[in-house]
Structure 1
Amino acid sequence: MTLTHHTETRRPLACIILAAGKGTRMKSDLPKVLHKVAGRSMVAHVVAAASLLAPEKIIAVIGPGMESVAAEVAPHATVVQENQRGTGDAVMAARALLEGFDGDVLVAYGDTPLVTAKTLGAMVQARREASDPAVVVLGMRPAVAGAYGRLILGAEGGLDAIVEYLDATEEQRAVTLCNAGLMAFDGARLFGLLDSIGSDNAKGEYYLTDAVAVARAAGHACRVVEAPADEVVGVNSRAELAEVELIMQRRLRAAAMAAGATLADPETVYFSHDTRLGRDVLVGQNVVFGLGVDVADRVEIKPFCHLEEVIVSPGAIIGPFARLRPGAEIGPDAHIGNFVEIKNARVHEGAKVNHLTYIGDATVGSKANIGAGTITCNYDGFFKSHTEIGAGAFIGSNSSLVAPVTIGDGAIIGAGSVVTRDVPAASLAVARGRQSIYEGWASSFRTRRAAEKAAKGKK
């Protein structure tokens, strides 16, 4: 989905994402913006939201040595903020890439992964209103305003000033509308405003927020767009990352239920950003969806399952305690039961793999039945090989199918067999040692061992 703007002639749009912060409070070797929320890096969340506005350019501003961040945002452009002298300086680092750009410029942050395309679009739309504001600032009303900068509005509702908490009067501190940091600019005026920003402050830095004061002094209008406070939460520590993950999970759970899925205990179900659930899907407690899971209609996923890079077809039943690994494809009305692991395998329509079984690098034909304790022995220490199980085949419990091997349609494998050769269709294969019975052996064994134990105890 791409968001469009209601203008007669669509103005060009560029988005600058500030991602140069080292994130020292994260105490990590990984750049802060690469830490993941719902399986996707924070900066990638912001890129995805901005991309829905169909901008002509997305530019990430990174710090020296952040090649991994550049790779994450590719194919979008990156520029390096060499000296890192504040947010205003960070935007200035993108100047060369916006030379002659005649449009609007949206400035977002790589550590605010919860911001939505709807909010970004509202900022751009406000920038294009008839009042022609030079700057649009995103505002919020957090439950506790604390030390946030306050947004001071004029009599007609325009933005007059951003006042930092330490500089605010008691009256200004009582204002509940706070600065969320994101901004939208008229690109034609952006760098002129930034050129006029000074660094006469405690840190000697160039603050992007000072652009509002410069714009107002020049007689330009400024505007505010409000967003929910939990949409603009920034991440500076592991604890804040966990808080953002919680908010994202609640958002994803709500979306899944609104689309027609039932979550038996929503707070225990964990999604990835790309999880897709169909209508009338029932998800039990403590289910985890890794990346790349696509679940069709009327599927039941019982408690304590883990799925990753999996396709599940309509009517299938999964779990409890099942693990579906990358490359698993579960056909319509198939059953994957408790303590079953499926990896890189197709389980066709109506097949049953119900108990304590590993199926890897395999095909299970329609309506085949795989007995408890069965494994496909797919790896010889050097290569992985394929196991083909035909339609309607019956694999007895505790069988080992040593790949590469084919079990024909309708074949039966006797319980406890180790199958190393192909089995023709409709055949019975039994591959185990002959059973021997020695009557009375157990009694004599117990008598002898008991006597030996008693003799040792007398010493």
Structure 2
Amino acid sequence: MTASTRELAIVVLAAGKGTRMKSDLHKVLHPIAGRPMIDHLLASAAALRPAKTVVVVGAGREQLEMALGDRATTCLQEPQMGTGHAVQQAERELAGFSGDVLVLYGDVPFVKGETMQAMLDRLHAEDRPKVVVLGFEPDDAGAYGRVIADAGGRISKMVEFKDANEAERACTLCNSGLMAASAADMFDLLRRVGNDNAQGEYYLPDIVNIAISDGETCAAVPSDTPDEVRGINSRAELAAAEALWQAEQRDYWMAEGVTLRAPETVFFSWDTELSADVTIEPNVVFGPGVTVARGAHIKAFSHLEGASVGEGAQVGPYARLRPGAVMGKNSFVGNFVEMKKATLGEGAKASHLTYLGDAEVGAGANIGAGTITCNYDGYFKYKTVIGENAFIGSNSALIAPVTIGRDAIVAAGSAVSRDVDDGDLRMVRGEQIVKPGWADRFHDAMKKKKAAAKKS
């Protein structure tokens, strides 16, 4: 039976307290590119179509259970007595399961699905290793535990750095902690792991040496890059992981035909979708849920989240698109324009200093500077509809619910609270009163009054 035909269970270790984060939020729920780090890992694992996913929890259990929902079952490790003890807690959840078990870490979020599959394929290779370990070769092996293996990846020994001799320390293949074995082998070996060590804990890597002492084969699979097994335990490491992820995404999108004028200043979300010939200027931030169509131009200092930008559309500079913003083909929003739950039709434009909330703007419409859709009365939201080719004059307030007809004109400075029919002009202004010479007389009187006050 091959790896592809055997059922798979994923066991994710996430019971650590994460004290170095100094946070009320569980460590593995801290986001990278707007997505909790554990969700990055689970998304990669999902490509293997696991039959079961078990997350081992401890401190912050309630937070994790709420975040995971029905995507995984959880089991509690309390007290926490090492990684081997943590995996043992999943045995009850996997009762009767006869497939393979892949052990991952919730704070090691960048392991690729292809790497996980390589571990499983090695588990079912011709020499049938009892345990497969994911190894990696860092630039500085430092105090990592070493994996002593031959050219074929067959392990002769797993050794902690402090216990390694000079020759073993010269080995550069290190232990990532990720392992795969059949469920039966995994839990049988774990029952034989002792805690005769300085910490009095039960360590998962010990199952390899136990299997080797039984005369069994164990094997290592090398990771493509040390970054893949980068662990995150502090705010500094979280920032470094974010920087790594962003750098990879910038390279990816440029390779896909996107122009980044200053790549290091553009920040993507985990689900950003861009098309070829999109241009992005400096200091643009994408929150979750953004799609940008071919030929669109995102100008400097814009922030987009939950928005769809149509083909050839232009955004910014200094624009903000909030969730529900939809820009049609060749539409335009300029500096200091904000859209929220609003649609801008094909060729429509709002050039500057405008808020469009809960609005539908027809094709070709022009929204003047300082226009506001007044969509909230303190209790409920209401919609504004602006017809095709309508012209909204500057500094207008459209008090929803209201409809402005196609080809209609709203005069500058109007506060519109009733519908405007197609082709009509609506002007809502107070009467202008002129008092000739009043200002001159006022200034003269005030100057005399001020001079008299100084004398007294």
Shared fold (TM-score, shorter chain, > 0.5): yes
Shift of 1:122: 1.4
Partner of 1:429: 426
Residue 27 of structure 1, aligned match among 6, 18, 22 = 22
Q: What does the per-residue CA deviation read over 1:275-326, in whole Å, with 9 as the maximum and x for residues that have no partner? A: 1111111111111110111111111100111111111111111111000001
Distance 1:70 1:458 in 2: 78
Matched, 1:379 2:363: no
Shift of 1:156: 4.9
Contact 2:149–2:157, Cα closer than 8 Å, also in 1 = yes
1:333-352 aligned within 5 A: 333-352=330-349
Residue 412 of structure 1, aligned match among 409, 413, 425 = 409
1:311 and 1:175, CA in 2 relative to 1: closer, same or farther beyond 3 A? same
Deviates more, 1:174-183 or 1:389-398: 174-183
Contact 2:17–2:59, Cα closer than 8 Å, also in 1 = no
Shift of 1:256: 1.7
Residue 313 of structure 2, aligned match among 303, 313, 316 = 316
Matched, 1:222 2:229: no
Secondary structure at 1:74 match in 2: helix
Residue 84 of structure 1, aligned match among 77, 80, 83 = 80
Partner of 1:281: 278
Matched, 1:293 2:290: yes
Q: Which runs of 5+ in 1 are unaligned?
A: 1-5
1:1-12 aligned within 5 A: 7=2, 10-12=5-7
Q: What does the per-residue CA deviation read over 1:60-99, in whole Å, with 9 as the maximum and x for residues that have no partner? A: 1111551221222231211111211110011000101222
Shift of 1:8: 8.7
Q: Which runs of 5+ in 2 are unaligned?
A: none
Shift of 1:264: 1.0
Contact 1:44–1:72, Cα closer than 8 Å, also in 2 = no
Percent of aligned pairs sharing the same letter: 54
Deviates more, 1:347-356 or 1:447-456: 447-456
Counterpart code for 2:146? R
Partner of 2:99: 103
Shift of 1:436: 2.1
* Superposition RMSD in Å: 1.5
Residue 323 of structure 2, aligned match among 321, 326, 331 = 326
Contact 2:135–2:222, Cα closer than 8 Å, also in 1 = yes
Shift of 1:9: 6.1
Residue 401 of structure 1, aligned match among 383, 393, 398 = 398
Residue 42 of structure 1, aligned match among 13, 37, 41 = 37
Partner of 2:163: 167
Shift of 1:155: 6.4
1:206-245 aligned within 5 A: 206-227=202-223, 228-245=225-242
Q: What does the per-residue CA deviation read over 1:160-200, in whole Å, with 9 as the maximum and x for residues that have no partner? A: 22211111112222222111111111223111111111100
Residue 139 of structure 1, aligned match among 132, 135, 140 = 135
Partner of 1:367: 364
Contact 2:296–2:310, Cα closer than 8 Å, also in 1 = yes
Shift of 1:120: 1.3
Partner of 1:3: none
Q: What does the per-residue CA deviation read over 1:306-350, in whole Å, with 9 as the maximum and x for residues that have no partner? A: 111111111111111000001111111100111000001111111
Secondary structure at 1:271 match in 2: coil
Counterpart code for 2:165? T
Partner of 1:125: 121
Contact 2:3–2:121, Cα closer than 8 Å, also in 1 = no
Counterpart code for 2:288? L
Secondary structure at 2:343 match in 1: strand
Shift of 1:453: 2.9
1:57 and 1:457, CA in 2 relative to 1: closer, same or farther beyond 3 A? same
1:338 and 1:64, CA in 2 relative to 1: closer, same or farther beyond 3 A? closer
Matched, 1:204 2:206: no
Counterpart code for 2:375? N
How many residues matched?
454
Contact 1:47–1:73, Cα closer than 8 Å, also in 2 = no
Secondary structure at 1:132 match in 2: coil
Matched, 1:15 2:10: yes
